A and B are shown apart, each in its own frame.
Chain A
């Protein structure tokens, strides 16, 4: 694409990229919220996605809904223009209230109705509609137990798949530690993080694991260890959002370091 004339590049998924690029972009393009989440969010607006495909049909306005008076009001005789104008403000106000209600309803749903189950129980339950699959540890053990392979071009895609499976396994462990911390169980989070460090001594998520470990240690009031980790973090993993976060944990006014 160099030069004065700009040309539309071929999209990665259409052959403009490597096999790995195509695959990861394809996966991202196919990621969708679950049907249940979509339905929940839609229901917060008082609509149902199952009726979304129906053509709009006029329905009688409920007597308690002045917002629908606007269009009709605008058509009424000599005073119609004034009523219509006022009605338009009512209609707009109704929409704003509805929008606010939709957001509030959604946040209330998020904050109030999700059952506060123990994390272990939540993780043990299969999440519909995702079909349950072998645990990350099982997949990881299977990968680690596989005989070493010479990487030929035909096997590179298999290695890529193993690599992404390993990353997914790592992510699962880090996610679990994070969820345990969020649930207030710093001790269990540490156990999970130690398991991660043993299994993946050179894991790509080491920085995230170290940041979570620092937080867990602070929460357990193991301050000496926590502060030592925090001091070494930036030197070990470099600057960035995680380093900033760890530094904030160790700050004197931090809520974590108490």
Chain B
């Protein structure tokens, strides 16, 4: 374990100030949602980890600008912009055995992972705009007004994209399910 924590380059410490505590709390609270949003955006585990790091690096430089009531929205918005900048293709799989997944204790690892894979594959059939709204509403459980503000689109557009996204998601999932059932026999 000690070997895993060795770093060749010692990053400078966060200034010792109340901002440090705020940043620590921000990271602890929103690291996972940011990482998830990036994963659902089509980034593989490594790229999502990179992009999460960059997102928080940006947040660190703009800490005083972030409204405490809108921290999650700021971080996810920043993460999506980072993802756009990276211009990754939606190759949605991740390496087994990497330190990137935390298994839910309630289910078998293969089932949980398989479901995540299914979700990603279905999302990959949607346009980026629809997938974004779907992920923010269904997975991150943001409200429609929050999504509208975050994506800077009208509320009606959120509704329209969500409706089409859900239709597309269902259709893709059903197709995948049919294919897999054929193989399971």
Asked if B152 is at the interface (CB within 8 A of a chain A CB), the reply is no
* Interface pair A95/B60, CB less than 8 Å apart: yes
Q: Find chain A residues with CB under 8 A from B10 CB.
A: 105
Interface of A is mostly: helix
Asked if A187 is at the interface (CB within 8 A of a chain B CB), the reply is no
Q: Mark A102-123, 1 if CB is under 8 A from B, else 0.
A: 1111111110110000000011
10 A-B pairs with the lowest CB-CB distances in the bound complex, closest first? A164-B114, A105-B11, A56-B21, A27-B115, A46-B13, A163-B180, A52-B28, A168-B114, A99-B57, A24-B119
* Interface pair B173/A24, CB less than 8 Å apart: yes
* Interface pair B24/A31, CB less than 8 Å apart: no
Q: Find chain B residues with CB under 8 A from A189 CB.
A: none
Known: A56-B21, A95-B15, A163-B181. A24 touches B96 (CB 8 A): no
* Interface pair B7/A91, CB less than 8 Å apart: no
Asked if A78 is at the interface (CB within 8 A of a chain B CB), the reply is no
CB-based nearest B residue for A162: B184
Which B residues between 95 and 115 are near A, CB-CB below 8 angstroms? 95-104, 107-115
CB-based nearest A residue for B170: A21
CB-based nearest A residue for B22: A56
* Interface pair B93/A33, CB less than 8 Å apart: no
* Interface pair B181/A62, CB less than 8 Å apart: no
Q: Find chain B residues with CB under 8 A from A136 CB.
A: 110
Task: Give the complex CA separation of A6 and B159 in angstroms.
Answer: 7
Q: Find chain A residues with CB under 8 A from B12 CB.
A: 46, 97-98, 101-102
* A24, A92, A143, most chain B CB atoms within 10 A: A24
Q: Distance in Å from the Cβ of A183 to the closest Cβ of chain B?
A: 11
Asked if B138 is at the interface (CB within 8 A of a chain A CB), the reply is yes
Q: Distance in Å from the Cβ of B102 to the closest Cβ of chain A?
A: 4
* Interface pair A160/B31, CB less than 8 Å apart: no
Asked if A129 is at the interface (CB within 8 A of a chain B CB), the reply is yes
Asked if B149 is at the interface (CB within 8 A of a chain A CB), the reply is no
Known: A33-B102, A98-B14. A167 touches B91 (CB 8 A): no
Which B residues between 108 and 148 are near A, CB-CB below 8 angstroms? 108-122, 137-141, 144
* Interface pair B24/A47, CB less than 8 Å apart: yes
Known: A52-B28, A95-B61, A241-B91. A67 touches B15 (CB 8 A): yes
CB-based nearest B residue for A36: B99
CB-based nearest B residue for A25: B138
* Interface pair B166/A12, CB less than 8 Å apart: yes
Known: A34-B101, A91-B15, A133-B109. A28 touches B40 (CB 8 A): yes
CB-based nearest A residue for B59: A99
* Interface pair B144/A105, CB less than 8 Å apart: no
* Interface pair A96/B115, CB less than 8 Å apart: no
Asked if A45 is at the interface (CB within 8 A of a chain B CB), the reply is yes
Q: Mark B40-59, 1 if CB is under 8 A from A, else 0.
A: 10000010011011101110
Asked if A9 is at the interface (CB within 8 A of a chain B CB), the reply is yes
> Which of A169-177, A231-239, A249-257 is the interface stretch?
A169-177
